[in-house]
Amino acid sequence: MPKLSTLEPTRSRDRVSGVIDDSLDRLAPLADPVRRALYDFVVAEDGPVDRDAAAAGAGIGRPLAAFHLDRLAAAGLLDVEYHRRNGRSGPGAGRPAKYYTLARGTEVAVSLPPRQYDAMAEILAEGVERSRPARTAAIKAARERGRAIADAAPPSGDRAALLATLATRGYQPVTDANGVIRLRNCPFDRLVSEHRELTCSLNLAMLTEVADGFEAAHVEAGARPPDRYCCVAFEPEEAANDRG
């Protein structure tokens, strides 16, 4: 009979392979260029996208777009909603149309070998929450990181450069009708679920310094109540001053 020590590494490798295979299976649909184009289009839009808009955005026919969108939804990469285009309800209003949005509460990442950065982040967050000096130090570190991000950005320091920097950092910025830059994605979403107050405070401290570093963008970072956007928004300076 083989020794236990010779079996255990095999079991461990099997478990690791299972985790990696699951993640790769989730990401596999994006290897198709048509599906990737549809996914990128939906992610770039601020709000649900129907099949007609997605087809036009990807430059393909509606039936093909519907097929690939449903495959992306089945893989958990997109969420599906149903809305009536004319806003009517009740008998005679017609069937609701299918709309697609970026899947919420879903993260897919692959690292070889697997890493546990999220577990370490949880440990650090819990430690910071238990210590006032640690929290003060963490806020200071967040501000320093924000200044470093701004210093590494293009020298123009304008709005376009700010948007590009935020996009690179995974925030998926969009500008609303009032000129406010909202962030559709929170890169720290997994921590927010258990450590919202701390995570949002650190995020605000960091992005405040980012805003200050982009002087030509003329925006100020401020906290916003949690909604479908990130808890931080960038408001035009004049609007922030009027409100203050």
Per-residue pLDDT of 145-195, as tens digits, reads 999 999 998 888 999 999 999 999 989 899 999 999 999 888 898 888 889
Whether residue 72 is found in the same domain as residue 128? no
- Separation CA 44–CA 172 (nearest Å): 8
CB 191 within 8 A of CB 129: no
- Per-residue pLDDT, 103: 84
Residue 32 token pair: 């198709």
Domain boundary (71, 102, 133) is at 102
Specify the range with the lowest mean pLDDT, choosing from 1-5, 36-40, 208-212.
1-5
- Per-residue pLDDT, 8: 45
**Is 108 a domain residue?**
no
Domain boundary (102, 136, 158) is at 102
Residue 183 belongs to domain with CATH number: 3.30.1380
Tally the domains of the chain. 2
Torsion sign across C-alpha atoms 57, 63, 68, 73: positive
**For residue 168, which of 155, 150, 156 has the smallest C-alpha distance?**
150
**Is 168 a domain residue?**
yes
| Residue 194 C-beta-side C-alpha neighbours within 13 Å | 11
- Per-residue pLDDT, 19: 46
pTM of the full predicted structure? 0.69
CA angle, 158 then 159 then 163, to 5°: 125
Give the long-range contacts of residues 183-186, CB within 8 A, separation 24 or more: 183/229, 183/230, 183/232, 183/233, 184/46, 184/102, 184/228, 184/229, 184/230, 185/102, 185/230, 186/230, 186/231
Whether residue 83 is found in the same domain as residue 160? no
Q: Which domain holds residue 55?
A: 4-102
Whether residue 96 is found in the same domain as residue 132? no
- Per-residue pLDDT, 108: 60
Domain boundary (68, 102, 136) is at 102
Residues paired with 182 in a beta bridge = 174
In this prediction, residues 2-26 reach a mean pLDDT of 50
pLDDT band at 44 (very low <50, low <70, confident <90, very high): confident
DSSP annotation of 217: G
Classified as helix, coil or strand, 156 is coil
- Separation CA 22–CA 134 (nearest Å): 37
- For 217, residues 6+ apart whose C-beta sits below 8 A from its C-beta are 157, 158, 159, 161, 162, 211, 234
Name which residue leads in pLDDT, 97 or 7: 97
DSSP annotation of 86: T
**For residue 28, which of 60, 68, 67 has the smallest C-alpha distance?**
68
**C-beta atoms surrounding 196 within 10 Å:** 13
**Is 239 a domain residue?**
yes
Whether residue 81 is found in the same domain as residue 173? no
**Is 110 a domain residue?**
no
Whether residue 32 is found in the same domain as residue 125? no
Residue 83 belongs to domain with CATH number: 1.10.10.10
Instruction: Work out the mean pLDDT of the chain and round it to a whole number.
Output: 84
